[in-house]
Amino acid sequence: MVSITIILIILSGILALLVALFQYVYKSKTSKIRNWLVLLRFLSVFGVLLLIVNPKFEAVSYYEEKPNLIVAIDNSKSINYLGQDQKAKVFFENFISNDLLNAKFNVKAFKFGSDVKTADSLTFIDNQSNFSSFFKRYNELYKNTIAPIVLITDGNQTMGSDYSFNTSRIKQSIYPVILGDTTSYSDLRVGQVNVNRFAYLKNKFPIEIITNYSGEEAVDAVLRIRSGNAILFSKSLKFNSTKTSEIVTVNLNASSVGVKTYSVELAPLANEKNITNNYKNFAVEVIDQKTNIALVAKTIHPDLGALKKAIESNEQRSVSILNPKEFLSQNTDFNLVMLFSPNRNFKSVYDKISSQKLNTFTIAGSSTDWDFVNKNQSFFKQDVTNQSEDYQPSLNLNYGTFIVDNITFDNYPPLKSEFGYTSFLVPEETLLYKSLNGIDTGSSLLSTLEYNGQKHALLNGEGIWKWRAQSYLDTDTFEDFDNVIGKLIQYLSSNKKRRRLNIDFKSFYNQNESIVINAQFFNKNYEFDPNGNLSIFYKNINTNTTSTLPLLLKNASYRIDLSGITPGNYEFTVRSNDEPVSASGKFKILAYDVEKQFLNADVTKLKTIAANTKGKSYFINSAYVLIDDLVSNESYTTIQKSKRSTISLIDYKYLLALIALALSLEWFIRKYNGLI
């Protein structure tokens, strides 16, 4: 309490006493009950003055905080395939409900497979084991607390970054409960098949096959690549206890256009226990030609590399970074011309674009000459202020030219852009608005437009390489950012006319990945219609089974998730149930269950992370010892903590009650004695 407050309290007491004495000593004619009335009046006036002064006091409260105990169980199919599902479920339920553990810890239970969820029920049906998603969630919630981890798993990972790397950054002990045994079997396995998603007609495409062997005896194996019943490639391999893997590279011919499915197989051993992992399917889409894109720039900038990598993440596209003179000398038929920070050196480039009616994507930067750009195209005008500002992106959820999903741009860094308003001279659609200090300016950061049979886009900002980096920081992959750029490039490089119903899907999917089909539906004015009634009819061509399902609205698109349908060839039609509008397509699902590829638990890796984090590993059959170890571990004790808070006197209800009581008694005494 500060000294000025103490002075005010003393003055309040003096003033309250003077008021009481004045009324009941100086003015009063009776002394019979004077002392009581003086006291009551003093208390009421002093209480009111204290409320006006409102002194503040520091209060210290004490509480006990138990350490957290994080229990995470692997909910993927591999637990089922290894025959450990019942053991895991019984142990998990008994463990998290143990009275001794709950008395010592705040027990928090999670399950993880493709994603992380609270462990309300266990099904062991997830198609993937993503350990990195669990450890990322753990770091977000428990990074600065005492929170040891009990990890109930077989240790076999199929998705995300290596969990031995994730655990190296965790400062808490990890106690793996290993679902499986150490029995070793002879096993051949097709570890990985590396192949590009696309190939070009009449070209050869490379395939890299990684084969593995576990066992002590020397064995002979035969590797084959099939297309249907035809054997396209065959090779004899030899393995032993020291030579446990071999990489085989082969080139195949792309002889016809379309999705081509192939199968890699290692002939099983006579006594091999798991032959599922001896086979792996893959597919290649053979296309007739590549989309060629010219990225014209006068200066060197990291944005150029980021754009090239994002666009070429789809093998159908090729980007050539050229200066204006090199572009003019090229004989290549470009599907799209990207203009990076155009200035007066681009005069002949604009002339060529105009004469050949090429589609363009203009990326404005700090060296853009806006006086020149405004004069040499007739689609947009920028206020020329010769000042720049950092603008953050604000996504237009009603953007309808193409589907934008899995990305919000909420925490993306700002781009440097010309200060001033961008006006469009032809109809346009804005994908991203400029935002300044969280306020949407209404000015375009990224827009697309169509005019006279040409398509154009304007990105009015420099520094897009930071966005690609942010995408990786957010999701551990560049995929979300690359997909947005890819869809923008696909739209700009195509001269197809706009349709009222557009669908977005892949030509083939692996069985374990998400099978999502997106659709956009527009009214007759080509405005996105959020009230559309869309459904999908799909048919398995191999079995003739059919199904019809509704599409659900999400942001500015409709979507359906068909994950879980059986592998095979499918044809589908998305249609409006209210109007004669539809769009059709075909896709293929390749049979491959990654969770069936494992024969044993990864004991070595689980024991390693336990040792590296000063924890201990346990096999499921003897794992109940873990309860006693955790309860008796003196490193995990309840901590008494204090909480210091500042409390105002006005928050005390007792003072208000005292004032009310004093005034009531004073009134009653005066009334009783006939003084009122």
What phi and psi values does residue 506 have, to the nearest 5 degrees?
-100, 155
Two tokens, residue 68: 């957290």
What is the Cα–Cα distance from 496 to 383, expressed in whole angstroms? 33
Q: What is the mean pLDDT of residues 313-324?
A: 90
What one-letter code names the amino acid at 282? F
Per-residue pLDDT for 368 more than 60? yes
| pLDDT per residue as tens digits for the range 56-114 | 777 777 777 889 999 999 999 889 888 899 999 999 999 999 999 999 999 999 999 88
Gap between the Cα atoms of 527 and 320, Å rounded: 35
| Contact status, residue 651 vs residue 50, Cβ threshold 8 Å | no
How confident is residue 42, by pLDDT bands cut at 50, 70 and 90? confident
Three-state SS at 488: helix
Percent residues over pLDDT 90 in the chain:
46
Tokens of 218: 């020397």
Q: Say which residue, 18 or 336, is predicted with more confidence.
A: 336
Per residue in 493-540, pLDDT tens? 887 767 889 898 988 898 878 899 999 898 877 778 888 999 999 999
Phi, psi (deg, nearest 5) at residue 226:
-115, 150
Return the closest-CA partner of residue 422 out of 385, 451, 453, 454.
Answer: 385
Average pLDDT estimate for 35-47: 82
Average pLDDT over residues 334-351: 94
* Average pLDDT rounded to a whole number, residues 476-500: 87
Range with lowest mean pLDDT among 21-25, 41-45, 236-240, 371-375 = 21-25
Query: Domains along the chain?
Result: 3-60+647-672 (no CATH), 67-183+600-637 (3.40.50.410), 187-287 (2.60.40.10), 291-493 (3.40.50.880), 501-594 (2.60.40.10)
Average pLDDT over residues 247-274: 90
Q: What is the pLDDT of residue 32?
A: 58
Task: Taking residues 398-404, report their average pLDDT.
Answer: 83
Average pLDDT, the chain: 88
pLDDT of residue 620: 92
DSSP letter string, 395-428: E-TT--SS---S---TTPPPEEEESS-EEESS-E
pLDDT tops 90 at residue 319: yes
Q: How confident is the model at residue 28, as a pLDDT? A: 61
pLDDT band at 552 (very low <50, low <70, confident <90, very high): very high
Looking at residue 676, what is its pLDDT?
Answer: 67
Task: Say how far apart CA 284 and CA 200 lie, in whole Å.
Answer: 10
> Among 202-211, 333-342, 487-496, which stretch is predicted with the lowest mean pLDDT?
487-496
Structure tokens at 233: 């490639």
Would you say residue 29 has pLDDT above 70?
no
Query: According to the model, what pLDDT value does residue 199 have?
Result: 87
**For 176-190, 637-651, 661-675, which range has the lowest pLDDT when averaged over its residues?**
637-651
pTM, rounded to two decimals? 0.66
Average pLDDT over residues 261-288: 88
Q: Where are the beta strands (DSSP E) in 555-621?
A: 557-561, 568-576, 582-590, 618-619
What is the rounded average pLDDT of the residues 659-670?
83
Rg of the Cα trace of the chain? 36
Q: Is-contact 389 420, C-beta < 8 A?
A: no
Q: What is the pLDDT of residue 438?
A: 81
Residue identified by tokens 């002064």 is: 53
Q: How far is CA 406 from CA 74, 477, 597, 673, in A?
A: 25, 12, 30, 81
674 vs 436, residue with greater confidence: 436
Does residue 571 surpass a pLDDT of 80?
A: yes
Q: What is the mean pLDDT of residues 378-392?
A: 90
Confidence of residue 1 (pLDDT cuts 50, 70, 90): low
**Residue 302, pLDDT above cutoff 60:** yes
For the residues 603-617, what does the mean pLDDT come to?
91
